[in-house]
């Protein structure tokens, strides 16, 4: 995700566009997610692999899909690389509709890839459908056909709609609706869904972000692609990079919906998402071009998280949960996001939420003690020894990263 703006503290702004898709009664049933390079971008950039990867990473791991779309479907444009399986999709089929771009040339490999994804439960939309393009071979697999009523060829509209109606699984999306006349056409043909400026312009969502370091991505991909992946090593790599930890937690949010257990550690989040999906997210992140957060920021957050972990036993709290609470609260402070806002973004266990938002419970005692020490209020506990260990640990982690990066 290439940054388009950077704050004075080194954080970066990332964006994702979304345009509502309405039913005939005017209710929002889905959003199309769009690549946006900056908050004031009017037109989307090229719909290429970079843009697709950026939309996925931003929507699922920077914002969290619940933040972007609630419980509605998300339409995401896919390029050939994703359709044929050269790049794996890092999410399940529950909340997404995969759009087959009109620029994708139909051949046996594409049809086979889409068939396999359909059998795995993914839904498809044929974007900007043109009769005779070859995409009609997908009618048996598609759930949606999108028709451009602004610049599309309307001379064959009767034929296209009639062909769609032969497949009960297909709903027609009238897109690029900008005039009353185009809305009337959608009504006349009974098109079930509508999208366009006449109904709603795209919205650009923006969030401040710290990017995982490229080295951490490489380390993570290496560990994930080993013949026998070491879960402990993988958790350690993720836990040692605060923004990478946050991305994994956000990715676990959709998995945790309706789940009986909520996340209380990075390890739990990794297990919940699953190593195959973690591997796919890591590979997508490697396609991004965004720079890293400053070393000072990383050192500060890592030191805070490690200090929380070091003193957890003294308060009877879980060291893993304390480390994660330290990461979330530390990154929230850097981004200027209050604890309540950070807690809403993750599928956290109630005890972790209470600690972050109210300072309650044993974890809350840990956070209050660390806050006091960082503010020079040394209180009852002398944390100097644990703090120096946290500084040494964090410094070693960053030094090791720098040495590997220079090698």
Check which CATH number belongs to the domain holding 238 and give it: 1.10.3210.10
Q: Are residues 169 and 270 in the same domain?
A: no
- The percent of residues above 70 in pLDDT, for the chain, comes to 74
Domain co-membership, 248 together with 192: no
Is the separation of the CB atoms in 214 and 249 below 8 Å?
A: no
Query: What is the three-class DSSP state of 193?
Result: strand
pLDDT 10s digits, 63-94? 667 777 888 999 998 888 889 887 778 788 88
User: Residue 276: inside a domain, yes or no?
Assistant: yes
Instruction: Name which of 100-109, 160-169, 301-310 the model is least confident about.
Output: 301-310
- Residue 5 falls within a domain, yes or no? no
Do the beta carbons of residue 12 and residue 3 sit within 8 Å? yes
The structure tokens listed for 102 are 């009109």
Indicate if 220 and 178 belong to the same structural domain.
no
Determine, yes or no, domain membership for 329. yes
Range of the domain at 90: 12-206
The answer to whether residue 215 sits within a structural domain is yes
Of 140-154, 205-219, 354-368, 386-400, which gets the smallest average pLDDT? 205-219
Instruction: With a cut of 90, say whether residue 159 has pLDDT above it.
Output: yes
User: Do 200 and 171 belong together in one domain?
Assistant: yes
For residues 367 and 371, give the distance between their C-alpha atoms in angstroms, rounded to a whole number: 6
Strand, helix or coil at 220? helix
Residues 35 and 110 occupy one common structural domain: yes
Alpha helix stretches (DSSP H) within 59-122:
65-69, 80-83, 108-119
In this structure, are 221 and 202 located in the same domain? no
293-332 pLDDT tens trace: 566 776 787 788 889 989 999 999 988 788 878 888 887 8
Q: pLDDT category, 390, cuts 50, 70, 90?
A: confident
CA 189 to chain centre: 36
Mean pLDDT of all residues in 143-172:
93
For the cut 50, the answer to whether the pLDDT of residue 337 exceeds it is yes
Residue 45, pLDDT score: 39
Decide if 390 contacts 303 (C-beta within 8 A): yes
pLDDT in tens, 190-201: 999 999 999 988
User: How many domains in the chain?
Assistant: 2
Max intra-chain CA distance, the chain? 80
300 against 279, higher pLDDT: 300
Q: Which residue has the higher pLDDT, 233 or 23?
A: 23
For residues 228 and 121, the model is more confident at 121
Q: CB–CB of 398/391 below 8 Å? A: no
The closest of 132, 142, 135 to 167, measured between CA atoms, is 142
- At residue 284, the pLDDT reads 58
**Judgement on whether residues 160 and 42 belong to the same structural domain of the protein:** yes
Q: pTM of the predicted model, to two decimals? A: 0.62
User: What's the pLDDT tens digit per position in 7-42?
Assistant: 444 456 667 788 999 999 999 999 998 876 544 443
- What is the number of other CB atoms lying within 10 angstroms of the CB of residue 296? 11
* Distances 327 to 248, 259, 333, 356, 370 between C-alpha atoms, Å: 12, 23, 10, 11, 12
**Same domain for 218 and 176:** no
Which of 112 and 323 is assigned the larger pLDDT? 112
């Amino acid at each position: 995700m290439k940054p388009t703006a950077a704050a004075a503290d080194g954080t970066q702004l990332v964006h994702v566009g979304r345009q509502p898709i309405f039913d005939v009664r005017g209710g929002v049933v889905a959003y199309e997610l769009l690549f946006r390079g900056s908050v004031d971008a009017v037109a989307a950039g090229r719909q290429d692999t970079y843009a697709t990867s950026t939309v996925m990473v931003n929507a699922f791991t920077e914002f969290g899909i619940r933040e972007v779309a609630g419980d509605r479907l998300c339409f995401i444009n896919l390029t050939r690389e994703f359709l044929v399986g050269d790049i794996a999709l890092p999410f399940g089929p529950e909340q997404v509709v995969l759009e087959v771009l009109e620029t994708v040339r139909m051949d046996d490999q594409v049809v086979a890839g889409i068939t396999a994804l359909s059998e795995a439960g993914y839904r498809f939309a044929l974007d900007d459908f043109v009769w005779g393009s070859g995409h009609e071979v997908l009618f048996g697999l598609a759930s949606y056909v999108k028709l451009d009523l602004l610049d599309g060829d309307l001379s064959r509209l009767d034929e296209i709609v009639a062909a769609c109606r032969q497949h009960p699984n297909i709903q027609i999306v009238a897109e690029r609706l900008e005039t009353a006349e185009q809305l009337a056409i959608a009504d006349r043909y009974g098109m079930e869904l509508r999208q366009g400026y006449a109904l709603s312009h795209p919205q650009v969502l923006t969030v401040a972000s710290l990017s995982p370091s490229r080295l951490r991505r490489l380390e993570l991909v290496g560990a994930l692609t080993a013949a026998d992946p070491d879960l402990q090593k993988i958790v350690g790599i993720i836990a040692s990079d605060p923004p990478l930890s946050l991305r994994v937690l956000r990715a676990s949010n959709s998995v945790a919906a309706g789940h009986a257990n909520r996340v209380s550690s990075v390890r739990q989040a990794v297990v919940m998402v699953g190593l195959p999906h973690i591997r796919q997210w890591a590979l997508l992140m490697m396609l991004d071009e965004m720079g890293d957060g400053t070393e000072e920021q990383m050192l500060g957050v890592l030191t805070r998280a490690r200090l929380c972990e070091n003193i957890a036993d003294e308060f009877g709290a879980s060291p893993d949960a304390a480390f994660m609470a330290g990461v979330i609260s530390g990154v929230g402070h850097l981004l200027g996001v209050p604890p309540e806002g950070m807690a809403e973004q993750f599928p956290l266990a109630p005890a972790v939420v209470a600690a972050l938002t109210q300072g309650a419970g044993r974890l809350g005692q840990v956070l209050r003690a660390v806050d006091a020490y960082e503010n020079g209020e040394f209180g009852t506990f002398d944390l100097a020894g644990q703090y120096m260990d946290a500084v040494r640990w964090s410094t070693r982690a960053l030094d090791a990263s720098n040495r590997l990066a220079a090698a």
